[in-house]
Amino acid sequence: MEFKEKLRAYQSQVESAIGEYLPAEGTRPSRIHQAMRYSMQAGGKRLRPVLVLSAAELFAGKTDPTPAAIAVECLHTYSLIHDDLPSIDNADLRRGAATSHKQFDEATAVLAGDALLTYAFQLIARHYKSQPSLCAGLVSELSETAGSERLIGGQVEDILGEGAPLSEDTLNFIHLNKTSALIECCLVMGGIIGEASDAQRDTLRAFGREIGIAFQIIDDILDATSDAETLGKNTGSDAELEKTTYVKLHGLQRSRDIAHQRTQKAIQLCQSLPGDTSFLVGLASYLENRIR
């Protein structure tokens, strides 16, 4: 199957599974379940669940990766809802629709984020409990990633850095933790489900780190050069919040070059992975050249 066709197939698998796995809107109290579904079903590229599915498929494991893929999308969506809150980025547009606190209210948005974070772990426990070691591996990977030293740690340094020039080291810490951490985690979770060896998991993590950094550099470039209609989210926010970004530190062309080098390194790493890696190779290039 050609890359774009395969990507669409994974994305549509994710859309159906979100519909299937999330509590129905009518489940009491329906307001929170409406808000959870509202943000989860607003669209989005579904990069993270696609990474779980495609990484698992490289290996011969027989366990279904779909619940884990939806779990990471729940956790990612929680981080977006909270990132958009008035106390953080104060954004009104996300995934081409009103942000959760604009569509509902701030309390509901906080709680919908909390509920999605918790639901990520509920999904893993429900679907993998008959394989305790695999289940514990997934919980360990996802909780290490989402905690105060990685996802939240990156966000905290990002907020602390607003309005002041940051060193390259601090910027790398932010990107590595706020963005790459979850991307690495998705690939490793796919590897755990596929029963990859430790060395193969390390390679998946290294691949995730390279495409994760490239992804954030491209995100910075798009924030500076694209528009809200194309991206489905507010643009120019980095400049508005006086954030240090790759674009600010290195300029547009050098940032593009660094994203290209990171992508090429990721593609090389695929040579050490088993199975048909053509989708991951295609995905790395696709992300480097994305326009939204």
Site map (CB under 6 A) of ligand GRG, residues 111-150, x = contact: ----------------------------------------
Say whether residue 95 binds ligand GRG (CB under 6 A).
Answer: yes
Least Cβ distance, residue 158 to ligand GRG (angstroms):
8
Tokens of 128: 């993998």
Stretch of 25-33, 41-49, 97-105, 277-285 lying at the interface with ligand GRG (CB under 6 A): 41-49
CA angle 209, 213, 218 (to 5 degrees): 145
Least Cβ distance, residue 34 to ligand GRG (angstroms):
19
How far apart, in whole angstroms, are the C-alpha atoms of residue 121 and residue 125? Answer: 6
Q: At what angle do helices 252-269 and 278-288 cross, to 10 degrees?
A: 180
Least Cβ distance, residue 135 to ligand GRG (angstroms):
24
Least Cβ distance, residue 178 to ligand GRG (angstroms):
5
Least Cβ distance, residue 197 to ligand GRG (angstroms):
29
Q: Which is nearer to ligand GRG, 227 or 276 (CB)?
A: 227
Site map (CB under 6 A) of ligand GRG, residues 42-81, x = contact: --xx-x-------------------------------xx-
Least Cβ distance, residue 176 to ligand GRG (angstroms):
11
Q: Which is nearer to ligand GRG, 47 or 196 (CB)?
A: 47
- Which phi and psi (to 5°) does residue 63 adopt? -85, 140
- State which of positions 169-228 bind ligand GRG (CB under 6 A): 178-179, 219
Rg of the chain over Cα atoms, rounded to whole angstroms, equals: 18
Q: Which is nearer to ligand GRG, 57 or 223 (CB)?
A: 223
Contact between residue 211 and residue 187 where contact means Cβ atoms under 8 Å apart: no
How far apart, in whole angstroms, are the C-alpha atoms of residue 82 and residue 85? Answer: 5
Q: Give burial (CB, 10 Å; 0-12/13-18/19+) of 28.
A: exposed
Q: How many residues bind ligand GRG (CB under 6 A)?
A: 15
- State which of positions 221-260 bind ligand GRG (CB under 6 A): none
Cα dihedral value 18, 19, 21, 25, nearest 10: 120
How far apart, in whole angstroms, are the C-alpha atoms of residue 113 and residue 144? Answer: 18
What string of DSSP letters covers 123-159? HHHHHHTTSHHHHHHHHHHHHHHHSTTTHHHHHHHHH
Q: Side-chain half-sphere of 99: how many Cα atoms within 13 Å?
A: 26
Q: Which is nearer to ligand GRG, 195 or 241 (CB)?
A: 241
Q: What residues line the site for ligand GRG (CB under 6 A)?
A: 44-45, 47, 79-80, 82-83, 88, 95, 151-152, 155, 178-179, 219
